Chains A and B, each alone.
Chain A
């Protein structure tokens, strides 16, 4: 029998959402345990945050621009508009206040005034753009550790424990010590993010393998809009580790300028200020324009086009942009050289379905915070709001809930599954090789989707599952930091998540935001302004339902419009 840790609230994930959930739950006097697959505040995508949305609400116009940006340009109406209002209120009144109280420095000018970008939906940052997440998460890390909360780092949650329909914690592999244990909790907050390393080129961090999504699917949670996968366009082509190096297309501090994209004959085909003036995160427009270039033979998905800041005074770049150091490192000049880019799969727009007022899922006892939810795309500011709501509600539930019962048979089955992977053999596919195959399948599926490609990807994944999941063998059975063992668990998560992504893509018969189907090249608000909701029943039975979005504050202006002509 595995060791059992008992707590009121279990938080899985150590980014901006998870840390805030843990802090807010602890504020309410309940016991909190954190489980983090990497290192709290260092792994995951929060550390990548370039800047923070600056909620300047001094005029009605600014307030309206910000709201329009969030609903139309960032979430393409696939969001809960009341949630966006509440989150906006938090961003205006609490987020910066709390960060700064803890010591976070928001960039000022020499007269002491805040120095946001000067476009319609401004952003603010730490001392430099691109360094914000690092400083913010270091501050959150200290806040959590200072409280003395038990944080189990380099521990991968492997499954949610469900007892009579209620989520009562999770099983965990401490891969550093090779120890399996369970956390029995009155409520559980999942906050494992929206960025997973699921394609050959991906901006995700090493440990991100869609575990949260997969655990929720296996536990019977509903997942929505998984088909909508965001690609970054201005990420470096080489070296390989640097495919996560993002040449931000967002406006720069103190200016309304941003990086530009150029095709292989030197024509500029994208910049934020001229092509997406209403958006400060203009990724969907960027990739649409790249798509036209690729179709015309003037760029490839994985290279043959460049990005740079050479139209902006280099002093501005060197002062405000963290990424400028890349040029120096490669012996290039940011004032005149451009870098070759390729697309990377950055994040999912969809995720686990939940009630945005409490962040509770349809599984009692299970809360979700941050990009893992289907309700909002993410960002360290907005997900901090989720963390606050999820942590507060999870704590309140824990106050009222009776002691959970450990589902021993479920734990035993999970233990058998995990130990089953710990099997060494010179032959048999290595888990990392299976991971590489999954990523190749999803890369092949790529941005331009259609029914045949989605079916092919789904079938290829199913074949991998049948042929290789149980035949994978490790190099050694050592339990001490055995990366092969961890890779094997990742494979299982990735297969579950990717299959759901393909299925969701087959169901949505339109194009919207980051989701492009060439067989349905229209945004279709008349028929598809809805959630596509999936849940898995048993091993291989998927239930589908649709739920329309309410548009109480902002309605799309057209019912149906050609995808490539829309501005959102």
Chain B
């Protein structure tokens, strides 16, 4: 008989001094999900194992965890022969695989994730076209499972960037992208959400169990709203565009100086490493040259401005 070998993270802060991994051997059955493995462990091998699930069919979004380093919904993904099963990252741990969803809920209150109508509801059914709701529907697919939050590398950086993470922003987008909403969601995304700290790396999009286009369909539209509402928070984006418009290409040194200013000098080791690895060339910054195609680049900028106005 085939065996699934599951190495499960165990930690009960009430009785354990330190986290440990416990390995369980579970008989494989066809089409088995990760959740079926955990249920077997609970029913047969370790009845006190802490793991959270309710629906078992990708509706409640409560069984997200990491298998071999990747975030997934336990109910949805097939079991693998060898699995290291760990709790989500960037959320406090309760026990074993159970995490504390409280901070996420607090974030949602801060973001005011409910419809704030620009006009009073005229009565059911209100005039509304399906296609007008299509962008918001992508966000409505969110199960608030926090897989994206765990996968986000910006949150890895000891959490001090001011970035709220992708999960609360998807919930914000349910209203930001809704044609009926009138609140300044762009400002919220910039100020409460720190959205400009997002590096659009697509890690969140890669792990989303309901395949929400998290960067293309959620974060980028929110960023556009944020730039319009709170341009002062978009220092990086503005500097990036200014440099490209001026020179026809991006100059990293200029970009760092313009966005971080003198603060960049507080990390000399980092600057030196960039220099040694030839990631930056200060000569180009001191003696700036325009790209020969800069006129064409500027035309593109003009075109873009024209489209906006």
Contact = CB atoms under 8 A, between A and B. Distances in A.
Nearest to B40: A240
Interface residues of B, number: 63
A480 B114 contact: no
Given A42-B54, A100-B121, A483-B42, A178 B136 contact: no
A103 B109 contact: no
- State the main secondary structure of chain B at its contact with A: loop
Given A42-B61, A42-B62, A478-B15, A205 B114 contact: no
Nearest to A94: B124
A433 B47 CA distance: 9
A275 interface: no
Contacts of B133: 105, 108, 127
Interface stretch (A137-145, A164-172, A501-509, A541-549): A137-145
Contacts of B13: 480
A126 B42 CA distance: 35
Interface residues of A, number: 67
A38 B54 contact: yes
A114 interface: yes
B75 A478 contact: no
A367 to B, nearest CB: 25
Given A39-B101, A105-B128, A127-B133, A481 B94 contact: yes
Nearest to A177: B94
A238 B47 contact: no
Given A103-B115, A205-B54, A241 B48 contact: no
Contacts of B295: none
B119 to A, nearest CB: 12
A483 to B, nearest CB: 6
A483 B109 CA distance: 30
Contact of A108 (B12, B39, B42, B129): B129
Interface stretch (A22-30, A43-51, A262-270, A358-366): A43-51
B43 interface: yes
Contacts of A48: 55, 59
Given A112-B127, A145-B105, A205-B54, A481 B95 contact: yes
Contacts of A245: 57
Contact of B14 (A143, A242, A478): A478
Contacts of A44: 54
B56 A244 contact: yes
A483 B50 CA distance: 7
B102 to A, nearest CB: 9
B31 A330 contact: yes
A126 B140 contact: yes
B215 to A, nearest CB: 21
Interface string A191-209: 0000000000000011100
Contact of B47 (A39, A115, A142, A483): A483
A110 interface: yes
B130 A43 contact: no
Given A127-B140, A239-B33, A97 B124 contact: yes
Nearest to B109: A145
Nearest to B76: A329
B164 interface: no
A133 B57 CA distance: 13
A479 interface: yes
A432 B54 contact: no
Contacts of B131: 110
Contacts of B196: none
A206 B56 contact: yes
B297 interface: no
Interface string A241-253: 1111100000000
B269 interface: no
Contacts of B76: 329
Interface string B143-184: 110000000000000000000000000000001001011000
B30 interface: yes
A135 B210 CA distance: 14
A103 B114 contact: yes
B75 A241 contact: yes
Nearest to B48: A475
Nearest to B142: A138
B137 interface: yes
A101 interface: yes
Given A127-B133, A432-B47, A241 B57 contact: yes
B218 to A, nearest CB: 16
B200 interface: no
Contact of A176 (B94, B124, B127, B129): B94
A242 B125 contact: no
Interface in B237-284: none
A109 B134 CA distance: 11
B36 A240 contact: yes
A484 interface: yes
Given A103-B114, A239-B32, A244 B121 contact: no
B9 interface: no
Contact of B54 (A114, A131, A207, A329): A207
A154 to B, nearest CB: 8
A111 interface: yes
Interface string A113-134: 0110000000000110001011
Nearest to A475: B48
25 contacts: A38-B62, A42-B60, A43-B60, A97-B121, A100-B124, A103-B175, A107-B130, A110-B130, A139-B114, A142-B108, A142-B114, A146-B109, A178-B14, A205-B60, A206-B53, A241-B56, A244-B56, A432-B43, A436-B43, A478-B15, A478-B48, A480-B94, A481-B50, A483-B48, A483-B49
